[in-house]
Chain A
Amino acid sequence: MLVSDNLIELFHIGHQYQRPHWALSDVSLRVKKGDFVFLTGPSGSGKTTLLKIIFREIIPSEGQIVIEGVNILRIPDHGIYKLRRMMGIVFQDFRLLFHRPVFENVALPLQVLGVPPKEIRRRVFNALRMVNLQHKLGDPPAHLSYGEQQRVAIARAVVNAPKILLADEPTGNLDTELAFEIISLFREINKQGTTVLIGTHDKELIRHFGSKILFLQAGKLLGKDALPSPES
């Protein structure tokens, strides 16, 4: 039996928000299990769009995406939760519930899985300790600083030990020291087997942690790790 070690495969992905402009154009790439990948490029190059397509918040105008051997564009809407449950996502705008305490925010991915309350408490506490926010679990995110909110979003993304961690500018609002800490944390998570894909335009971070780098410019994938086409 042939077992592929590709976890994420994109084939000729193109996306238009508005005609005639292409936000992404003919993007093909492969991410292997256990990879640690930086997706970089200037603002407006399509990083966020590409990440949204991978967790299927956006359906691309063209192309196919295969994750763990499954074409995710063929998954019906009511079945999309299966894809999302294997992913942890750090959104650029955090997407926190600002009126609910930090604990409840971080617990959400476990609650939807039906994890018992005792286990939820243990795992949420561990995730918050990882981002050094264990003392804030009763506070609503509205009372936290921008950087702290970002760390809550990261704790929520890693709390269910996902197979894939997608992060869109996860250090955008953090000072350099904290940014390095967060990426080091992602490295640790990656060492435990999680495939990590980080969208960032922070060249300093890439230089310091860089392994596999995908470079987007004006919606096209450039750079040595980009594949011209999986078929070629």
Chain B
Amino acid sequence: MRNLFSVTIICLSFLILGIFWSLSNNLQQVAARLGENLVVTLFLNKDLPEKDALEIRDKAGRSPVIESLRMVTADEAKERFQASFPELRDVLANLKANPFPASIEAVLRPDRAGPDAVAAFLQSMTATAGVEDVQYNRDWIERVRSLGRLTRAIGLFLGGILVLASFFIISNVIKLNVLSRKNEIEILRLVGGTNTFIRIPFLIEGTILGILGGLVSLVFLAVLIQAFPLYLGSSLGALQELLSFRALSISQGLALVAGGAVIGWLGSLTSVSKFLKA
């Protein structure tokens, strides 16, 4: 019963760590995907004549940082919005005019899009007449990356507290096991058993508990990753992509199990050592 309790606590601790790790994995991947496609969006003034819009496009196309350009009309922007947010279709329908401006999407060449060159391009486009606003998705990439780092930090903080708690719990569970076998330990010492000889079975026990806790947490995490999109995914709308779980890599999974083993081993070591010194 005591051992079951230890395994449960270790499992919960590492499950929390795993959940945040998995979320953070996803955010890092989203950021990486965005990073592969650096895009500057030039929003044009409403009612800008097509001739002026084409001039702006040509001006942008002369910059060495540009790989390709694409005109997005106001109607096209509206359709995209409706496709991305179908639940807001009615709101749009009630509007008399199309609220979306036309825009030019400029895909940058990753090999030439250094910070200075991009800054010069952005400055030049912002100053161009007919350009209402300039948005650069590198800011978004940075935000998503930061969110990923924040998620990982929260995971480490919460998981760390729980791992620490599980360390003390396993330490106390092993201490109870040691106390229940106090007589046996005393006899082993009296017949010439070394401290190491006495410690080894307890260390093995703690390590096995830790490994079991880590493995069970991985199983729960796998179930969660499979079940999450089925139960909650569709209701998250646009947040779905950011709030998705991504499976841990083999090395991350092994790290969780190894973490469990280390916590179990350390918990046992401290409790048995205290007893052997007493």
CB within 8 Å of B: which residues of A?
Answer: 55, 57, 77-78, 80-82, 84-85, 89, 91, 95-97, 108-109, 112-113, 156
Main SS at interface, chain B: helix
Known contacts A77-B277, A95-B186, A97-B183; is-contact A84 B192 (Cβ 8 Å)? yes
CA distance A113 to B193 in the complex (A): 8
B201 to chain A, nearest CB (A): 12
Contact of A108 among B183, B188, B277 (CB under 8 A): B188
- Docked complex Cα distance between A112 and B189 (Å): 9
* Contact indicator per residue, chain B 191-202, by CB within 8 Å of chain A (1) or not (0): 111110100000
Chain B residues with Cβ under 8 A from A81's Cβ? 189, 192-194
CB atoms of B195 and A112 under 8 A apart? no
Q: Is the CB of B192 within 8 A of A85?
A: yes
CB pair B190–A112 under 8 Å, yes or no, is no
Number of A-B contacts (CB under 8 A): 41
B187 touches A97 (CB 8 A): yes
Among the listed B184, B189, B277, which residue makes an inter-chain contact with A84, where contact means beta carbons less than 8 Å apart?
A: B189
Q: State how many angstroms separate the Cβ of B197 from the closest Cβ of chain A.
A: 6
Number of contact residues on B: which range applies? 10 to 19
- Cβ of B196 to closest chain A Cβ, rounded Å: 9
Q: Is the CB of A97 within 8 A of B184?
A: yes
Closest 6 CB pairs of A and B: A85-B192, A84-B192, A112-B193, A109-B191, A81-B192, A81-B194
CB of B227, distance to nearest CB on chain A (Å): 45
* Least distance between B200 CB and chain A CB atoms (Å): 11
Q: Which residue of B lies closest to A57 (CB)?
A: B190
B193 contacts across to A, CB distance below 8 A: 81, 108, 112
Q: Please indicate the chain A residues that have their CB under 8 angstroms from the CB of B197 in the complex.
A: 112
List 9 additional contacts besides A78-B194, A95-B187, A112-B191; criterion CB under 8 Å: A55-B190, A81-B192, A82-B192, A84-B189, A89-B190, A95-B183, A108-B188, A112-B197, A113-B192
How many Å lie between the Cα of A89 and that of B186 in the bound state? 13
- A108/B189 contact (C-beta < 8 A), A77-B277, A97-B183 known: no
Instruction: Name the CB-closest residue of B to A56.
Output: B190
CA of A89 to CA of B192, assembled, Å? 11
Within 8 A of A (CB), among B166-218: 183-184, 186-195, 197
